[in-house]
Chain A
Amino acid sequence: MKRDVSIYFDIITSLKTTKEVESFAGEIDTLMLKFFESEEVSMVKMLDSISEDSSLKIRQVFAKNNLDFNNRDTVSKFFKTLRELIGKLKVIKIVLAFDPSTKTIGNIHNFITELLGIGYILEIEVFQEILAGAIVIFNGKYIDFSLKKRIEDTFKEKADQIVSAIG
């Protein structure tokens, strides 16, 4: 049973954002649909119809774990479990003032994985008005680490000092 879940580790950890997950889940749905439509078409051929990156990930898992593409039961079970696991990924929404590069997203995701473990993906929203920093929304909690908030708080707390300094 442990082996069943651990074989998906590489795929799950490679998915970092909600966009990637949506795209990958869509591809799996297409594969499963085709797989159940016809018993004659082989899965290896079907994998050519999805993106190269996703196809490679799946091929690697099958190769690494000695799974047989021709065994319909194994293939069916693999994709069903993978789809279920993807559906259970938890979303951490992060609002940033800039559009992050793939490397930055990777760094943030690694940080979260180190902190909380696997099974988390990022939903990135760009909102320049926060100036810098980030707003983190997770499990209904809202935490504002933005520069805008800091400046507003400073103005609130030290309003008298600021006014007298200007005056």
Chain B
Amino acid sequence: MFPGIINMRDFKYYLDSISEIGFVEEAFSAIVYVSGLPKVKTDELVMFETGKIGLVLSFDSDLVEVLVFSKEPIGHGTKVVRTNEFLRVPVGVELFGRTIDPFGNPLTKMEAYKKPVELRGINTPAPGILSRKTINRQLETGIPAVDLIIPLGFGQRELIIGDRKTGKSNFLMQTILCQAKQKHICVYAAIGKKRLDIKIAEEFFKKHGVFGQIIIIATGFDDPIGLSYLVPFSAMTISEYFRDAGYDVLLVLDDMTTHAKFYREISLLGKKFPGRNSYPGDIFYTHAKLMERAGNFQTSKGEKAITCLSAAETIQGDLSGYIQTNIMSMTDGHLYFDSDLFAKGRRPAINPFLSVTRVGRQTQSALKRSINREIFSLLTIAEKMQNFSHFGAELTESSKTTLIVSEKVIKFLDQGPSTTMPINLQILLFSMLWSNILKNRNIEPIGTDIEKMIDKYNSGSTVKKDIDEIIEGTQSFNDMLRIMAEKGEGLLTNLKS
């Protein structure tokens, strides 16, 4: 039995039962060309006499192109058999709290892991328009800079874009943490990452006690390229399984530019005609067919969503890259991580002016929309004034006040790497900030004060109930400010107690 895929028999079994044989004629790293196998089909699995398996990519009248999933080279003349099987991945609750490769094999040392017996096809078509529902529920990331300014919805596909080392992965970790805390299922696909980074992600989730809600599907940078190519497809298949089982799933693809590079390598080895930046012509199709599988769906278990956050790396802030713009056009918006803001110390370094959410705002209540407008308009005015002040012009008192307030708001939007703030608390604290209640309270956005307040809120005390009730019953930001003037001090004292 092949250790990678369960239920696979040995070479001799397929040779005797299917009675077709092929021979490796040419081998180029992960791609081999095989003669014979007259009735082979695309996407069919083939087995080499060494027991390794491969995936049929294409064929012509003479040769079959096979993608190999092994590090060891396949020699010329090696025998190959068809299996009549298609690529399927194991799915099931056994995967929770596991770090696995795309075939469900453990990647890091794990206690007593039994691979699930249920299998799902990896290349299923995306559901049609009739089973899709409008995105109408907000997805909490626990980060005010996103939840209040560029909100995301369940079932939204959002691109997380930015230069390397600008905090993209950190943001994704925080979002997973927030969702896992809310008992949603999170699937993290780490494509061709450093093994140390995979381990760090695993330890991060374990440290916060949420790894039981998370599945990490990963490959290292030194793994076979065929395996890395499969990671997002395998992650999507697992996400679909849990969606059909009645859960909302957050799927994180980290990152798609790396995936595109792996696919480019496979295509070039497969002698496909190179297009722009040497990427093959079907790179858009490959990514689009994957992204299309995410969304908000009507299932037999009700309305369930696969929210897909896919990361993409830019080079020197260039948003017009080929793969980056491709994915932008497939997604429902993007969060841009600005290296300049990162250098200025903003965490997360999201640039709200270059970020887009196409469907996120429709999920917001009237109050949230009102706050969203207020923050956006303040930040826009502040940005203009900031530019104006650079000319050394004397500012009016109102301009100075705007700049001071915007500085406070920006400071409020800053956040520690493992802090996730519930959305109602974000609204409350922002309203307090706006009402000057936080003035001279020495409440830093990052630090023990905020952590204490979050803990107090999450502990399920009466404060949480009071806050939730206030926010639920408020329709506009002005009403909220009025309530803050009356009850703000009391609520703050309760939160800090």
Chain A residues near B (Cβ < 8 Å): 137, 139-144, 149
Contact = CB atoms under 8 A, between A and B. Distances in A.
A149 B22 CA distance: 20
A162 B342 CA distance: 77
Contact of A139 (B15, B38, B81): B38
Contacts of A143: 19
A141 B20 CA distance: 4
A141 B38 contact: yes
Contacts of A137: 21, 36
A43 to B, nearest CB: 35
24 contacts: A137-B21, A137-B36, A139-B36, A139-B38, A140-B20, A140-B21, A140-B22, A140-B35, A140-B36, A140-B37, A140-B38, A141-B19, A141-B20, A141-B21, A141-B38, A142-B15, A142-B19, A142-B20, A142-B21, A142-B81, A143-B19, A144-B16, A144-B19, A149-B16
A134 B423 CA distance: 74
Nearest to A144: B16
Interface in B242-293: none
Most B-side CB within 10 Å, residue of A140, A142, A144, A149: A140
**10 closest A-B pairs (Cβ-Cβ)?**
A140-B36, A142-B21, A140-B38, A140-B37, A142-B19, A140-B20, A137-B21, A140-B22, A142-B15, A142-B20
A141 B39 CA distance: 9
Given A140-B36, A140-B38, 19 more contacts: A137-B36, A139-B36, A139-B38, A140-B20, A140-B21, A140-B22, A140-B35, A140-B37, A141-B19, A141-B20, A141-B21, A142-B15, A142-B19, A142-B21, A142-B81, A143-B19, A144-B16, A144-B19, A149-B16
Interface in B431-456: none
Contacts of A140: 20-22, 35-38
B485 to A, nearest CB: 82
A141 B81 CA distance: 10
A149 B15 CA distance: 12
A96 B21 CA distance: 17
Most B-side CB within 10 Å, residue of A139, A144, A149: A139
A142 B16 CA distance: 8
Interface in B1-47: 15-16, 19-22, 35-38
B84 to A, nearest CB: 14
B35 to A, nearest CB: 7
B276 to A, nearest CB: 37
A32 B210 CA distance: 74
Contacts of B36: 137, 139-140
Secondary structure type dominating chain B contacts: mixed
A137 B20 CA distance: 8
B264 to A, nearest CB: 31
Contacts of B35: 140
A90 B197 CA distance: 53
Nearest to A142: B21
A31 to B, nearest CB: 28
Nearest to B64: A140
A143 to B, nearest CB: 6
Contacts of A149: 16
Contacts of B22: 140
Interface string B69-86: 000000000000100000
A82 B16 CA distance: 38
A140 B37 CA distance: 5
Contacts of B15: 142
B25 to A, nearest CB: 12
A129 B336 CA distance: 65
Nearest to B18: A142
A129 to B, nearest CB: 12
A152 to B, nearest CB: 9
A93 to B, nearest CB: 9
Contacts of B20: 140-142
B240 to A, nearest CB: 35
A41 B377 CA distance: 93
A46 B298 CA distance: 81
Contacts of A139: 36, 38
A140 B35 CA distance: 7
A142 B81 CA distance: 10
A156 B21 CA distance: 23
A140 B81 CA distance: 9
B31 to A, nearest CB: 19
Nearest to B34: A140
Interface string B381-398: 000000000000000000
A126 to B, nearest CB: 16
A157 B350 CA distance: 69
A140 B25 CA distance: 13
A149 B16 CA distance: 9
Contacts of B21: 137, 140-142
Nearest to A152: B16
A8 B19 CA distance: 35
Nearest to B40: A140
Contacts of A142: 15, 19-21, 81
B390 to A, nearest CB: 73
A149 B17 CA distance: 12
Nearest to B82: A140
Most B-side CB within 10 Å, residue of A137, A142, A144, A149: A142
Nearest to A153: B16
Nearest to A139: B38
Nearest to A137: B21
B328 to A, nearest CB: 45
B60 to A, nearest CB: 13
Nearest to B15: A142
Contacts of B38: 139-141
